[in-house]
Structure 1
Amino acid sequence: MTHAEIVKKVQWKDLRSLSVREMLIENNLTIPWFIISLTLAYSGYYLFALPFSAFFFLTALRQVHNGFHNSLGTNKFLTWLSLFLNSILMVVSIHAVKFNHIRHHKYCLTEEDYEGKSAGMTWYGAILYGPVHIFLIHKITLQLGNKKYRKNVLLELAAISLFVFLAFYFNIHFLIYHIIVMVIGEFLMAFFAVWTVHHHTEDSPEFARTQRGGWKNKITFSMFYHLEHHLFPAVPTIKLPELAKRIDEALPELEKKTTF
């Protein structure tokens, strides 16, 4: 069954819109995790801060991912601001990530898909490839992106550099902790955000892996409904559980490879 045939069989267009409550959730999901993680780190409880930092990273990834697809329910400026601020807090140019992610949907797992390079590697190869992945997405955006993309990437890199410089120059220990944890998170992106959801799907790249376990999706904030996302990228993350139900009802025969 082709992508076009699936799109015709599943009712999904109503899922693109967000209520005020849903919009507030998608745009503020990171805040409690960020505050708690920095508060604990400020008090010197770094080990206790780690899981909250991890959840901040995951929810920030969810937020910017929705921003890539204009699914935050906000106007262009607020969506841009969300990407810019998260660039500083996640210590990576989010517009560089966006450029490669949009290409990933267009050229999924082909030579032109630089985001998806780690999908064909072993799991440990994808982990070791992590630093190269982060370097490559910046390089490719600066080489292939239009003037607007390049401007945003350079602006974000300048803001990140200032943030990192101030944290280390003034020895602000809880910000240094945050920066180190975020860099580690970015180095693991080739594994967690690419390999886990795309390995062994080269024959049908549009049919990514997915996750159906209730508790697993709760602790990962629905970020592993990846089959659903690739089939219907305009649907916000908060609506993916409902989309998954509709796909299962309309196409029970559709093969679903599990993420974990």
Structure 2
Amino acid sequence: MDSRELIKKVEWKDLKSLSKKEMLIENNISLPWLFTSLFLAYKGYYWAAIPFSGFYFLTALRQVHNGFHNALGTGKFLTWLSMYLNSISMITSIHAVKFNHIRHHKFCLGEEDYEGKSASMKWYEAILYGPKHLFLVHWITFKKANDNYRKKMIFELTSISIFVCITFYFQINFLIYHILIMFFGEFLMAFFAVWTVHHDTHEHPDMARTQRGFWKNKLTFSMFYHMEHHLFPAVPTIKLPELAKRIDEILPELNKKQTF
């Protein structure tokens, strides 16, 4: 089914708004995981910190992803601040990621979609492609973005460099752990954030893969409702389960490819 036809059938605009509770969740969902991982690393329990770091990376990605689409329920400054602070803690320019992600929606899996390049690869190729993906995110922003994006990216990269230099100069071990584990997460982005949700969907790029199953979506913080996100990008992540339910009720015959 054509995505424009699907959009007409599904009521979704009411899902754009967030209550105060939902807004607080979406803007702070990553903090418990971040603070717990840093505390455990500070105490020297690095192996225990790893799953909390992983969930921080996932929830921070959810947070900035909502920021890309102005779906955090906050104004411009607070949205920018969220993306800036997560740039430092995730060790990458989030505005560079945003620039490529918006292009991903516009040119989904086409020649100009640099974010989506790994979708056409084998799973192991997508993993190996990770470092190049991270480099291209910044290089394409530098080459193709406007001055506003470039300035934000340079400011974020400068802040990250200062943070990394201070951490290594003073040998702050728990922060060194955090930086290294975040780099590892960034290197896997081409696989987890692109390949898993877009492989074998080139015939209908907007019909990305999605995920059903209560516990699977709870454990992944609703980040694999990707078909729903591509069809209705303005809907905040916290509302995607309800959106998926409406799609299933209205179009039960729709062929939905599962993420896992």
Paired residue for 2:126? 126
1:237, distance to aligned residue in structure 2 (A)? 0.1
Does 1:221 pair with 2:255?
Answer: no
Paired residue for 2:150? 150
Does 1:95 pair with 2:95?
Answer: yes
Counting aligned pairs with the same residue, the percent is 72
Within a 5 Å distance, the mapping from 1:188-227 to structure 2 comes to 188-227=188-227
Paired residue for 2:254? 254
- 1:32-83, Cα deviation, whole Å (9 max, x unpaired): 1011100000000000000000000000000000000000000000000000
1:213, distance to aligned residue in structure 2 (A)? 1.2
- 1:209-249, Cα deviation, whole Å (9 max, x unpaired): 00001101001000000000000000000000000000001
Within a 5 Å distance, the mapping from 1:23-62 to structure 2 comes to 23-62=23-62
Amino acid of the structure 2 residue aligned with 1:58 = L
Amino acid of the structure 2 residue aligned with 1:18 = L
- 1:90-127, Cα deviation, whole Å (9 max, x unpaired): 00000000000000000000010000000000000000
Distance 1:213 1:118 in 2: 26
- 1:159-187, Cα deviation, whole Å (9 max, x unpaired): 00000000000000000000000000000
Q: CA RMSD in A?
A: 0.4
1:200, distance to aligned residue in structure 2 (A)? 0.3
Query: How many residues of Structure 1 are paired with residues of Structure 2 in the alignment?
Result: 260
Distance 1:169 1:201 in 2: 46
Query: Which runs of no fewer than 5 residues in structure 2 stay unpaired?
Result: none
TM-score after normalising by structure 1: 1.00
Where 1:115 maps in the other structure, the secondary structure is coil
Query: Which runs of no fewer than 5 residues in structure 1 stay unpaired?
Result: none
Q: Which stretches of structure 1, 4 residues or more, deviate above 3 A after TM superposition? A: none
Distance 2:125 2:177 in 1: 27
Distance 2:234 2:22 in 1: 15
Distance 1:82 1:11 in 2: 29
Paired residue for 1:187? 187
Paired residue for 2:168? 168
Distance 2:71 2:185 in 1: 24
Paired residue for 1:113? 113
Distance 1:140 1:50 in 2: 31
1:9, distance to aligned residue in structure 2 (A)? 0.1
Distance 1:106 1:24 in 2: 29
Distance 1:146 1:207 in 2: 29
Amino acid of the structure 1 residue aligned with 2:234 = A
